[in-house]
Structure 1
Amino acid sequence: MKIILTGEVAGLGTAGDVVEVKDGYARNYLLPRGAAIRWTKGGQKDVEQIRRGRKIREIATIEQANDVKSQIEGVTVRLKVRAGTGGRLFGSVTPADIVSAVKTAGGPDVDKRRIELTTPIKSLGTHRISVRLHPEVVANVGVHVESAK
């Protein structure tokens, strides 16, 4: 099945790419999650719009990505959240929370879709977060999650 990606899918492509995938993968995974739309002749206009939006948000060169990486890694990120006894959080820390904490700490603007959380953050302490700035550049950030009491 031919689809248009609306977001970045690891191992498949980025937003605006037209790719051919197996029918089951598209129907059961990509389409329900909103990561893709079906390709049609009229959908080609959507591809251009998605690519324009991606171009505005993306970091174009490796040099830019390395500059942003050094800025992010040079910032101490602290998040104050509500926690219960034993250090368990009420809910979890989201990528949007991390982006706002980086901005508050004096770091650069980062798209929340660039933050890669392998496991949800549901406890107090220091956690390592990866930020994929460019296909070849990944910044590692330490996020200190503290109780808001």
Structure 2
Amino acid sequence: MKVLLIKDVKALGKAGEIKEVKDGYGQNFLIAKGLAKAATNQVLKQFDAEQRKKAENLRFELANLEKLKSELAKVSLEIKKPVGANGSLFGGVTKDEIAIALKEQCGFELDKKSLECETIKTLGLHEIGVKLGHAIHASFKLEVKAE
């Protein structure tokens, strides 16, 4: 009996592979536990359609991330913080403050966990990295000014 593996099965194969197995093993174990489906023409066509749709969604998502990367490269953010008598910042600029300022000033809503920086404790221009996903990284400029 031919089966299409839905999930990875140890010692048999990975999801998406078509394998020839004994009838009892296929019916009573693989199909019964939801690890595989009988490899009929209808099931194979449905699987191929799902794979094409996943690939198309991935291409669409990658295109959107690349567009976001190019838009973020143009961003120049400004945050004003109080400074002490010697010119040093009180506290620092955190990822949370950067994410909020990015949303308010530029309209980009990013999770603070995607920002690649430590707490900024100096005035001036800083480069902030952003992990967008799918191994795509972007960056933008942040200027910290005295209030």
TM range (shorter): 0.5 to 0.7
TM-score of the pair, normalised by structure 1 = 0.54
Q: Could you say which residue in structure 1 is the equivalent of 2:103? A: 103
The answer on whether the counterparts of 2:95 and 2:119 sit within 8 Å (CA) in structure 1 is: no
AA of the residue aligned to 2:140? V
Determine the C-alpha separation between the residues in 1 that align with 2:107 and 2:98: 11
The answer on whether the counterparts of 2:122 and 2:144 sit within 8 Å (CA) in structure 1 is: yes
Q: Could you say which residue in structure 1 is the equivalent of 2:146? A: 147
Length, aligned pairs only: 88
Determine the C-alpha separation between the residues in 1 that align with 2:73 and 2:99: 13
Determine the C-alpha separation between the residues in 2 that align with 1:131 and 1:138: 6
> Counterparts in 2 of 1:1-149, with a 5 A limit?
61-117=61-117, 119-148=118-147
Determine the C-alpha separation between the residues in 2 that align with 1:83 and 1:65: 37
Alpha-carbon RMSD? 1.6
User: In the TM superposition, what is the alpha-carbon distance from 1:130 to its structure 2 partner?
Assistant: 0.4
Determine the C-alpha separation between the residues in 2 that align with 1:142 and 1:85: 26
User: In the TM superposition, what is the alpha-carbon distance from 1:121 to its structure 2 partner?
Assistant: 0.7
Determine the C-alpha separation between the residues in 1 that align with 2:115 and 2:80: 19
Determine the C-alpha separation between the residues in 2 that align with 1:69 and 1:87: 34
- CA distance 1:122–1:68, shift in 2 (3 Å): same
Higher strand share: 1
- CA distance 1:132–1:139, shift in 2 (3 Å): same
Determine the C-alpha separation between the residues in 2 that align with 1:131 and 1:97: 15
The answer on whether the counterparts of 1:72 and 1:102 sit within 8 Å (CA) in structure 2 is: no
Determine the C-alpha separation between the residues in 2 that align with 1:86 and 1:63: 47
The answer on whether the counterparts of 1:72 and 1:107 sit within 8 Å (CA) in structure 2 is: no
Structure with bigger gyration radius: 2
Determine the C-alpha separation between the residues in 1 that align with 2:66 and 2:74: 12
The answer on whether the counterparts of 2:129 and 2:138 sit within 8 Å (CA) in structure 1 is: yes
User: In the TM superposition, what is the alpha-carbon distance from 1:99 to its structure 2 partner?
Assistant: 0.8
